[in-house]
Amino acid sequence: MSNSRRGLRFWIGAWWPVAAGIAVIALESTKYLGADRTSHPLRVLFEALFGPVGDPRWATIHHYIRKSGHFLGYGGLGLAWLRALWMSLPRHRFLFEAELALAGTALVASWDEWHQTFLPNRTGSPWDVLLDCCGALSMLLATFIYLRLRRPRLLHDRD
């Protein structure tokens, strides 16, 4: 189906996961979900599952929980970008669309970190942008490997 024959419903269907992912990131990128506000509820949940931990150990665990959220959240956003581009650009190769998906993810991650520099209890970090992009790249690479092994024809030009 050519792009000119696709209606609004198609475009919404293709791109809503990207919009939803960006909305979730925007929601999480507020002063209300900074590390100073997430520590207590996450600690309660963690200790309910795994038992009590001391303060120094909790600080490390909390750090890794938050950084894992970056990695996995932006990995999911990278896949949402890939899906939208895959649906929207049917005549391109997978790797081209994966590059665009990574670029879209990097743009959102950069915006998120820049935005956080204006919040009193948040900081923007280029290291978080790198971590976010690594999450997206990992998910895109896993998708490439899966397609390479299971559906190699999908990696080439499509009509």
What's the confidence (pLDDT) of residue 159? 43
Identify the H or E element spanning 117.
none
Determine contact, residues 84/112, Cβ cutoff 8 Å: no
- The Cα–Cα gap between 123 and 102 comes to 23
Nearest in space to 26 (alpha carbons), one of 73, 92, 64, 62: 73
Extents of the domains making up the chain: 38-155
- 92, amino acid identity: H
- The SS3 assignment for 97 reads helix
Q: In the predicted model, what is the mean pLDDT of the chain?
A: 91
pLDDT for 27 beyond 50: yes
pLDDT per residue as tens digits for the range 91-106: 778 899 999 999 999 9
Q: Which residues contact 102 (CB under 8 A, 6 or more apart)?
A: 78, 81, 133, 136, 137, 140
More confident residue, 156 or 10: 10
Q: What is the pLDDT of residue 3?
A: 53
Q: In the chain, pLDDT over 90 holds for what percent of residues?
A: 79
